[in-house]
């Protein structure tokens, strides 16, 4: 059989039926189970899928759909490009990493990731340290944990990810709305998510994809 | 100057090679290009750049990134410039 298994993430073992298209247009999205863990996969021809915009958003889209399925699941996201030759290779990874995966699933139980960016409008000047201080203080109140992301552009004043309990998401939404109201004259506020918690899991998988 | 240091330490490195490789490091800094790719995406998402502008710029940057990677590949192991 020439198909390889592209892996999106790991969830608690449970039946999964989602209607979404994966990497390289692959379908269906299904699971490979090992004890209490399920890996979310689809079959693809190549071992090295190209990292195009379409594929990157397909990867995200699958994870977001799984995240919202069945009344909300916890997902450990895999980074882009994890491909396994067959079910056995993938089950080996689940077996070897089961302690770390279980711990992450417990830590992330009921949590989603939300992202907040503040970007200066063209030619606007802002008191950056003051904005960062104010915004981070307000958001921290509604979140469990935060992670700072790269400020890859001079226009980016603030770029952080937050781990938020599903039940607390409305409070977080409100905090972001207030921030937007206050700063919208000088800055764009980009609020996105919920994502699988990419920035809050740290599992190294050896022998990448093989 | 680090070029001179290199030459003192490694007499087998010709000055042309050292200068060439230094230029490559500066011209083909992949981090810089990757950041520009992300910035381009961000400005598109925020509506400051049209889809056409975004796609054109993205294509240019992806090409630059490819060239930069190849340039690094070719010089790797020949000359250590950054010290």
Measured CB to CB, residues of chain A less than 8 Å from chain B are 53, 117, 119, 122, 150, 152-153, 155-156, 188, 190
Residues of A in contact with B42 (CB under 8 A): 117, 119, 153, 155-156, 190
Looking at per-residue pLDDT, the higher value among B3 and A101 belongs to: A101
pTM: 0.78
The reply to whether residue B42 touches residue A122, judged by beta carbons under 8 angstroms, is no
Residues A66 and A76: beta-carbon distance below 8 Å: no
Quote the pLDDT of residue A123.
85
The reply to whether residue A117 touches residue B39, judged by beta carbons under 8 angstroms, is no
Mutate to test the interface with B, among A51, A152, A156, A186 (most CBs of B within 10 A): A152
Residues of B in contact with A155 (CB under 8 A): 39, 42-43
pLDDT digits (tens, 9 = 90+) for B6-43: 444 454 555 555 555 555 555 567 888 999 999 999 99
Burial of A204: CB neighbours in 10 Å, binned 0-12, 13-18, 19+: exposed
Quote the pLDDT of residue A22.
95
How would you write the pLDDT of chain A (210 residues) with one tens digit per residue? 568 999 999 999 999 999 999 999 999 999 999 999 999 999 999 999 998 889 999 999 999 999 999 888 999 999 889 999 999 999 999 999 999 999 999 999 999 999 999 999 988 899 999 999 999 999 999 898 999 998 999 999 999 999 999 989 999 999 999 999 999 999 999 999 899 898 998 776 655 444
Smallest CA–CA distance, residue B56 to chain A, in Å, is: 14
Residues B6 and B18: beta-carbon distance below 8 Å: yes
A110/A145 Cα distance (integer angstroms): 13
Whether residue B83 has pLDDT greater than 50: no
Helix, strand, coil distribution of chain B in percent, nearest 5: 75, 0, 25
Residue A140's CB is within 10 A of a number of other CB atoms, namely 14
Quote the pLDDT of residue B18.
53
The reply to whether residue B46 touches residue A156, judged by beta carbons under 8 angstroms, is no
Contacts (Cβ under 8 Å, ≥6 apart) of A199: A113, A147, A149, A161, A163
Whether residue B4 has pLDDT greater than 60: no
Residues of A in contact with B43 (CB under 8 A): 155
A68/A23 Cα distance (integer angstroms): 19
Q: Considering only residues 44 to 63 of chain B, which have any Cβ-Cβ distance to chain A shorter than 8 Å?
A: 45-46, 48, 58
Nearest by CB: A119 against B34, B42, B58: B42
Residues of B in contact with A190 (CB under 8 A): 42, 45-46
Query: Sorting pLDDT into bands at 50, 70 and 90, what band is B76?
Result: low
Burial of A207: CB neighbours in 10 Å, binned 0-12, 13-18, 19+: exposed
The reply to whether residue A188 touches residue B38, judged by beta carbons under 8 angstroms, is no
Quote the pLDDT of residue A117.
96
Element (H, E) at A8: strand A4-12
Question: How far is CA A91 from each of CA A80, A98, A119, A129, rounded to the nearest angstrom?
Answer: 19, 10, 43, 48
């Amino acid at each position: 059989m020439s198909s390889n298994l592209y892996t999106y993430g790991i969830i608690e073992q449970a039946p999964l039926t989602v209607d979404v298209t994966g990497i390289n247009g692959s379908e269906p999205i299904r699971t490979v189970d090992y004890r209490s863990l399920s890996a979310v996969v689809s079959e693809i021809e190549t071992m090295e899928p190209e990292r195009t915009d379409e594929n990157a958003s397909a990867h995200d889209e699958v994870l977001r759909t799984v995240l919202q399925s069945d009344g909300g699941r916890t997902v450990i996201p895999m980074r882009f490009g994890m491909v396994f030759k067959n079910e056995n290779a993938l089950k080996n990874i689940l077996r070897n990493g089961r302690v770390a995966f279980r711990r992450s699933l417990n830590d992330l139980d009921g949590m989603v990731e939300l992202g907040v960016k503040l970007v200066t409008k063209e030619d606007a000047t802002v008191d950056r340290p003051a904005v960062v201080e104010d915004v981070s203080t307000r958001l921290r109140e509604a979140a469990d944990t935060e992670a700072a992301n790269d400020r890859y552009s001079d226009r980016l004043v603030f770029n952080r990810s937050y781990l938020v309990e599903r039940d607390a998401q409305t409070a977080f939404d409100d905090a972001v709305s207030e921030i937007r109201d206050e700063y919208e004259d000088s800055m764009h506020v980009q609020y996105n998510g919920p994502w699988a918690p990419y920035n809050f899991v740290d599992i190294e998988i050896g022998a990448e994809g093989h | 100057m680090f070029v001179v240091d290199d030459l003192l330490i490694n007499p087998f490195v010709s000055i042309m090679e050292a200068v060439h490789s230094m230029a490559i490091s500066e011209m083909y800094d992949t981090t810089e290009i990757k950041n520009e790719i992300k910035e381009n995406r961000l400005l598109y998402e925020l509506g400051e750049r049209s889809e056409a502008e975004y796609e054109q710029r993205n294509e240019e940057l992806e090409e630059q990134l490819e060239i930069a990677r190849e340039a690094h590949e070719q010089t790797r192991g020949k000359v250590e410039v950054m010290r």
